[in-house]
């Protein structure tokens, strides 16, 4: 009987010894069932065989038994090394990291027989007004989607499974069994139609293809202006991987994974790629997971969590919009998918391509130092020119507190509409107004659970906390002084800009694009198509619109508040503001017609605005790099955060004080704090922060481990570690 080390798929970090069930054998990386916990008898948890030691001294009678499963192929050595590395680097639980590779709900084999719910003829025609809201939703969902599994139906209609079942009893809904197509569609490389490249694109594509053929670890920065054809160029790398019968992974920020992108892929490759994304249904996830780990999925496009999946044979990783901060996850597990993708490339010996028009300072510095290959695409495709950017100095425009569009911007919108072209007004703020206050007594509406103002959402008639989701009905009377109609909205959100645009341009066709107005992928797609076909004149949008879209008639971009991202002044505030403004600006004039961008700002002399005007990104990054170097900030120094939180304010304070008393002294480290977090209260938890700043080569993890080991723990307080933090709230 052999003894093996098993890593349980739960919040633990060490592997435990088990004996293998009689007449069974296991290999490293295999999934097993295990009993876990002191008195556990039943093997109702899962684990992974992490190692098979030559000798294990644990007395046999102390050992529990593990039972091998064959649900998925064993995890490769490289993937297990990636899990080990990720857990050690992020100081997260190894079992939880492993769960990203083996998400328990997704590893069951896909079902072959499914039961579909559809409407009966009565259900098709009946008037739904007398039905309950939940039942009405089921009927309308089925009228649209025709047939759905119970899981999909309840998900899409947002009802419990009792509702469709109740409708069966009423004769409105019926079910049928069908056997499901589980085969993964296959791309034939000879059916792939890449475009005819420009000389510049061709050279970039050739270099990427060569790297895939070389099967060696190499990082490339594909650095091209918006509209230069970066996507078309990295498609060539995907094709090369296909031809070599290898898999390709494209990571994209959550928000870019739109139907537009998928259609573009389909146009070139003939079929849709396999996607890995939070909006997949459970059945789709299972199907895609199996296709990925059995090597049937040729190209996978996914959000950051797709990085950890057990690809059968990966040939290349592409990270689109590599600078996007959504690659950093800052909840449960704190990790940066871009950085770990590079690690994975290293462990699996394959090329990694970072793609951006506005590279992160980290990647830019590596490219400039020659650590990454640097491929540049400085021209827009087909001779389209880059937009002309100008600032509007709001200090000179004398706007009152309820005006948000300057006369200069309004005049530019007028001119654009007169030319029958489209306008995008960008403001990255959902809702109507970020703050509501009482004119009489000064009362401000704050979230009862968070240190945050309640955001007014006029369309819903509610105030909403954007941090915890707390809602209250929009009040008419001040709860503090009982004055009536004394409440005023302060500042703009996209809904308020909509009102302003409606009154300025009553004839124009206007649409608001934000995560509030575009709840489903399908709805968003419909709106995007309307914009593309010029059924809309003015688009008002949050960052949902900033990326990836291509609207030929859009020639004016007006940024309502260009200074928005600069407030707060965290490490990357300027960098991020530059990136987002550049990206929004890139929506203008993507076809033959030249584009104009107007940035409304109270700080037009700010380096970010000036660099945008001069279209001199590298100068901007150069100055930014020098400042970070001088300050010893990343990428020239290291940072980590400790976040102490507790539902008891005194427990959080006590724990922070204990930590402060035990800060280990070291020449290369500076510990700042404890300070109340800017979001001092979040979801009823009180939060304090430490910032640990160290020199570039300092090993920050052992330092933190040592610190925590020597600090007494306060009851009910939690300490979270964030290595290389992006958020400082
Ligand atoms: P980027 O990713 O750099 O913003 P895209 O790859 O999205 O650029 O290209 C911008 C637009 O130009 C897309 O509509 C794309 O299909 C088109 N395009 C780029 N290169 C070519 C080419 N060589 N032939 C045809 N169309 C191209
Ligand atoms: Zn809240």
Distance from the alpha carbon of residue 277 to the mean position of ligand 2, in angstroms: 26
Residues 372 and 220 sit within 8 Å (Cβ to Cβ): yes
Give the residue, by CA position, lying nearest to ligand 1 atom 5.
229
Residue 275 sits at the vertex; the CA angle it makes with 271 and 281, to the nearest 5 degrees, is: 115
pLDDT given at position 431: 94
CB atoms within 10 A of CB 277: 17
Task: Please check the confidence at residue 473 and state whether its pLDDT lies above 90.
Answer: yes
Residues 353 and 212 sit within 8 Å (Cβ to Cβ): no
When pLDDT is averaged across residues 491-511 and rounded to a whole number, the result is 96
Ligand located closest to 469 CA: 2
pLDDT given at position 111: 64
- Per-chain mean pLDDT for the chain: 92
CA distance 390 to 559: 10
pLDDT given at position 177: 80
pLDDT given at position 173: 94
Distance from the alpha carbon of residue 686 to the mean position of ligand 2, in angstroms: 12
Helix-helix angle 199-214:230-243, to 10 degrees: 30
pLDDT given at position 630: 95
Residue 350 DSSP class: -
Q: Which residues contact 710 (CB under 8 A, 6 or more apart)?
A: 662, 664
Task: Please check the confidence at residue 184 and state whether its pLDDT lies above 90.
Answer: no
pLDDT given at position 257: 64
Residue 268 vs residues 189, 196, 380, 526, 569: alpha-carbon distances, Å: 11, 12, 20, 22, 42
pLDDT given at position 365: 94
pLDDT given at position 68: 92
Task: Please check the confidence at residue 524 and state whether its pLDDT lies above 70.
Answer: yes
Q: What is the DSSP string of 261-299?
A: HHHHHHHHHSSPPEEE-TTS-HHHHHHHHHHHHTT---E
Band the pLDDT of 572: cuts 50, 70, 90: very high
Q: What is the pLDDT of residues 189-206, one digit of tens each?
A: 888 999 999 999 999 999
- Start-to-end CA span in the chain (Å): 53
Q: In what helix (H) or strand (E) does residue 598 lie, and over which residues does it extend?
A: strand 596-601
Instruction: Say yes or no: CB of residue 358 within 6 Å of ligand 1.
Output: no
Band the pLDDT of 81: cuts 50, 70, 90: very high
pLDDT given at position 459: 87
Instruction: Say yes or no: CB of residue 586 within 6 Å of ligand 1.
Output: no
**Greater model confidence, 7 or 567:** 7
Task: Please check the confidence at residue 281 and state whether its pLDDT lies above 70.
Answer: yes
pLDDT given at position 258: 67
CA distance 373 to 366: 9
Task: Please check the confidence at residue 418 and state whether its pLDDT lies above 90.
Answer: yes
When pLDDT is averaged across residues 465-483 and rounded to a whole number, the result is 93
| Nearest of 699, 718, 722 to residue 659 by alpha carbon | 718
CA distance 546 to 513: 10
Residues 509 and 538 sit within 8 Å (Cβ to Cβ): yes
Q: What is the pLDDT of residues 582-601, one digit of tens each?
A: 989 988 877 678 899 999 99
Lowest mean pLDDT among 265-269, 444-448, 591-595, 677-681: 591-595
**Tokens, residue 506:** 């009553």
Give the residue, by CA position, lying nearest to ligand 1 atom 26.
195
Residue 223 vs residues 49, 260, 292: alpha-carbon distances, Å: 41, 22, 29
CA distance 385 to 615: 12
Task: Please check the confidence at residue 520 and state whether its pLDDT lies above 60.
Answer: yes
Task: Please check the confidence at residue 519 and state whether its pLDDT lies above 80.
Answer: no
Instruction: Say yes or no: CB of residue 550 within 6 Å of ligand 1.
Output: yes
Q: State pTM to two decimals.
A: 0.87
Closest ligand 1 atom, residue 233 Cα: 6
Q: Where are the beta strands (DSSP E) in 441-565?
A: 455-457, 462-464, 471-473, 487-490, 510-513, 538-541, 554-559
Task: Please check the confidence at residue 181 and state whether its pLDDT lies above 60.
Answer: no
pLDDT given at position 521: 66
In the chain, helix, strand, coil percent, each to 5? Answer: 35, 25, 40
pLDDT given at position 385: 80
CA distance 265 to 185: 14
Helix-helix angle 133-145:150-157, to 10 degrees: 120
Task: Please check the confidence at residue 180 and state whether its pLDDT lies above 80.
Answer: no
Task: Please check the confidence at residue 39 and state whether its pLDDT lies above 90.
Answer: no
| Nearest of 126, 162, 130, 156 to residue 144 by alpha carbon | 156
Q: Which residues contact 577 (CB under 8 A, 6 or more apart)?
A: 562, 564, 565, 566, 608
Lowest mean pLDDT among 136-140, 218-222, 338-342, 362-366: 136-140
- In terms of DSSP H, where are the helices of 505-631? 521-532, 573-585, 607-614, 617-631
CA distance 604 to 566: 12
Strand 16-20 to 113-119 pairing? unpaired
Task: Please check the confidence at residue 442 and state whether its pLDDT lies above 60.
Answer: yes
Task: Please check the confidence at residue 256 and state whether its pLDDT lies above 70.
Answer: no
Which residue of 232, 237, 378 sits with most ligand 1 atoms within 8 Å of its CB, as the best mutation to test the pocket? 232
pLDDT given at position 179: 65
Beta bridge partners of 433: 456
Give the residue, by CA position, lying nearest to ligand 1 atom 9.
229
Rg (CA), the chain: 28
pLDDT given at position 262: 82
Q: What is the pLDDT of residues 395-410, one digit of tens each?
A: 999 888 889 999 999 9
703-707: long-range pairs with CB below 8 Å, 24+:
703/664, 703/666, 703/669, 704/91, 704/640, 704/642, 705/91, 706/664, 707/659, 707/662, 707/663, 707/664
Q: What is the pLDDT of residues 617-652, one digit of tens each?
A: 999 999 999 999 999 999 999 999 999 999 999 999
Band the pLDDT of 57: cuts 50, 70, 90: confident
Q: Give CA 106 to chain center in angstroms.
A: 20
When pLDDT is averaged across residues 318-332 and rounded to a whole number, the result is 93
Closest ligand 1 atom, residue 550 Cα: 14
Distance from the alpha carbon of residue 435 to the mean position of ligand 2, in angstroms: 13
Task: Please check the confidence at residue 557 and state whether its pLDDT lies above 90.
Answer: yes
Q: What percent of the chain has pLDDT over 70?
A: 97
């Amino acid at each position: 009987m052999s003894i093996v080390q098993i890593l349980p798929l739960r919040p633990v970090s060490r592997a435990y010894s088990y004996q293998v069930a009689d007449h069974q054998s296991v290999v490293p990386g295999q999934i097993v069932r295990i009993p876990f916990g002191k008195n556990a008898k039943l093997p109702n948890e899962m684990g992974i065989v992490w190692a098979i030691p030559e000798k294990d001294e644990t007395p046999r009678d102390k050992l529990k038994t593990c039972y091998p499963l064959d649900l998925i192929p064993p995890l490769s050595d490289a993937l297990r090394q990636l899990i080990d590395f990720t857990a050690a680097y992020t100081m997260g639980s190894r079992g939880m990291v492993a769960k990203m590779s083996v998400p328990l709900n997704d590893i069951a084999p896909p079902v072959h027989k499914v039961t579909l719910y559809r409407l009966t003829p009565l259900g098709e025609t009946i008037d739904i007004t007398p039905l309950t809201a939940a039942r009405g939703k089921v009927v309308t969902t089925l009228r649209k989607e025709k047939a759905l599994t119970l899981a999909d139906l309840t998900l899409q209609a947002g009802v419990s499974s009792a509702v469709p079942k109740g409708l069966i009893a009423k004769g409105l809904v019926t079910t049928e069994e069908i056997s499901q197509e589980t085969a993964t569609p296959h791309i034939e490389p000879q059916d792939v139609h890449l475009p005819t490249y420009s000389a510049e694109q061709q050279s970039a594509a050739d270099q990427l293809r060569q790297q895939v053929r070389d099967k060696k670890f190499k990082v490339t920065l594909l650095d091209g202006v918006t509209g230069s054809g970066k996507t078309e160029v990295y498609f060539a790398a995907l094709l090369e991987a296909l031809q070599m019968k290898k898999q390709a992974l494209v990571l994209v920020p959550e928000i870019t994974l739109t139907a537009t992108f998928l259609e573009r892929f389909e146009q070139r490759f003939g079929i849709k790629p396999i996607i890995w994304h939070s909006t997949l249904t459970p059945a789709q996830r299972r199907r895609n997971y199996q296709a990925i780990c059995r090597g049937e999925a040729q190209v996978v496009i996914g959000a950051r969590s797709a990085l950890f999946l057990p690809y059968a044979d990966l040939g290349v990783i592409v990270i689109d919009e590599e600078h996007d901060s959504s690659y950093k996850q800052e909840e449960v597990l704190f990790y940066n998918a871009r950085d770990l993708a590079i690690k994975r490339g290293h462990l699996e010996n394959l090329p990694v391509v970072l793609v951006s028009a506005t590279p992160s300072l980290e990647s830019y510095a590596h490219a400039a130092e020659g650590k990454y290959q640097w491929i540049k695409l400085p021209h827009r495709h087909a001779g389209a020119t880059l937009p002309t950017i100008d600032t509007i100095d709001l200090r000179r425009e004398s706007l009152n507190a309820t005006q948000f569009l300057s006369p200069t911007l309004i005049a530019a919108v007028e001119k654009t509409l007169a030319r029958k072209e489209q306008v995008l007004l960008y403001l990255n703020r959902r809702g109507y107004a970020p703050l509501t206050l009482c004119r009489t007594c000064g009362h401000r509406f704050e979230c009862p659970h968070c240190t945050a103002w309640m955001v007014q959402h006029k369309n819903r008639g509610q105030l909403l906390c954007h941090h915890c989701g707390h809602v209250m009905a929009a009040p008419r009377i001040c709860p503090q002084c009982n004055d009536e109609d004394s409440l005023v909205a302060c500042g703009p959100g996209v809904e308020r800009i909509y009102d302003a645009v409606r009154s300025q341009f009553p004839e124009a066709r206007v649409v608001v694009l934000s995560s509030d107005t575009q709840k489903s992928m399908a709805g968003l797609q419909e709106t995007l198509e309307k914009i593309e076909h010029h059924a809309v004149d003015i688009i008002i949008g949050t960052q949902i619109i900033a990326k990836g879209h291509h609207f030929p008639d859009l020639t004016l971009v007006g940024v309502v508040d260009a200074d928005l991202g600069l407030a707060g002044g965290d490490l990357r505030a300027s960098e991020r503001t530059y990136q987002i403004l550049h990206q929004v600006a890139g929506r203008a004039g993507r076809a033959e017609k030249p584009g104009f961008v107007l940035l409304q700002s109270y700080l037009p002399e700010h380096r970010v605005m000036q660099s945008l005007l001069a279209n001199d990104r590298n100068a901007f990054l150069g100055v930014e790099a020098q400042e970070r170097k001088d300050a010893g900030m990343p990428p020239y120094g290291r940072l980590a955060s400790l976040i102490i939180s507790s539902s008891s304010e005194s427990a959080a304070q006590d724990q922070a004080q204990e930590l402060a008393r035990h800060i280990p002294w070291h020449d290369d480290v500076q510990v700042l704090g404890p300070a109340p977090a800017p979001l001092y209260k979040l979801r009823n938890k009180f939060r304090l922060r430490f910032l640990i700043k160290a020199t570039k080569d300092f090993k920050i993890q052992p330092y933190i481990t040592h610190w925590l080991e020597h600090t007494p723990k306060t009851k009910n307080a939690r300490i979270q570690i964030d290595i290389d933090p992006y958020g400082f709230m």
